[in-house]
């Protein structure tokens, strides 16, 4: 039987680098069309996600993936890709950040807290719960998981 002809990994990677960047226009035009499919598919997969993250070996698989990628790849990607994308990414995220933080800023503005006591005072922990509890409830409400 003849063997399957397969290019080398180096040849595949070279072609990928040569061809794929030219497809950015296709990416820009076609990807937004898939947004509603992504949303319904991703939200519909909640049960599968829950099952997957509860698999007996999930911790081992996760740690194995981290070790396989390694610190060297992480550092290289930060330098080669992350730094250049950081500033533009922050700028592009401004409206999303503002929208995301608004409910929490509004919630914080409604909270009345008692005067702070001396260092170590048990009453100081009340301040923490008076801030933390409403923020936690807001977070759950924002995620549609109201407790």
Residue 40 falls within a domain, yes or no?
no
Tell me how far apart the alpha carbons of residues 46 and 145 are, in angstroms, rounded to a whole number: 13
Residue holding tokens 């409206």? 95
Residue 129 falls within a domain, yes or no?
yes
pLDDT band, residue 94 (cuts 50/70/90): very high
Domain holding 140, by residue range, is 111-147
Residue 77 falls within a domain, yes or no?
no
List, for residues 106-125, the tens digit of each pLDDT value.
Answer: 999 999 999 999 999 999 99
pTM of the model: 0.69
pLDDT at 144: 87
Residue 147 has pLDDT above 70, yes or no: no
List, for residues 38-61, the tens digit of each pLDDT value.
Answer: 999 999 999 999 999 999 999 999
Residue 68 has pLDDT above 60, yes or no: yes
Say if CB 104 and CB 135 are below 8 A apart. yes
pLDDT averaged over every residue in the chain: 94
Residue 124 falls within a domain, yes or no?
yes
How many independent structural domains does the chain possess?
1
134: nearest Cα among 99, 115, 109: 109
Residue 115 falls within a domain, yes or no?
yes
Residue 120 falls within a domain, yes or no?
yes
pLDDT at 145: 79
Residue 73 has pLDDT above 80, yes or no: yes
Quick one: the chain helix, strand, coil %, rounded to 5?
80, 0, 20
pLDDT band, residue 92 (cuts 50/70/90): very high
């Amino acid at each position: 039987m003849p063997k399957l002809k397969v290019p080398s990994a180096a040849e595949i990677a070279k072609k990928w680098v040569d061809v794929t960047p030219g497809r950015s226009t296709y990416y820009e035009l076609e990807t937004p069309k898939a947004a509603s499919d992504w949303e319904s598919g991703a939200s519909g997969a909640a049960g599968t996600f829950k099952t997957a993250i509860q698999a007996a070996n999930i911790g081992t698989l996760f740690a194995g993936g981290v070790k396989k990628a390694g610190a060297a790849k992480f550092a290289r990607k930060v330098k080669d890709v992350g730094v250049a994308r950081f500033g533009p990414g922050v700028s592009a995220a401004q409206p999303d950040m503002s929208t995301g933080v608004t409910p929490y800023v509004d919630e914080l503005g409604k909270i009345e807290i008692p005067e702070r006591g001396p260092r170590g005072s048990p009453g100081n922990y009340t301040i923490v719960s008076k801030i933390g509890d409403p923020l936690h409830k807001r977070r759950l409400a924002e995620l549609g998981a109201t407790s």
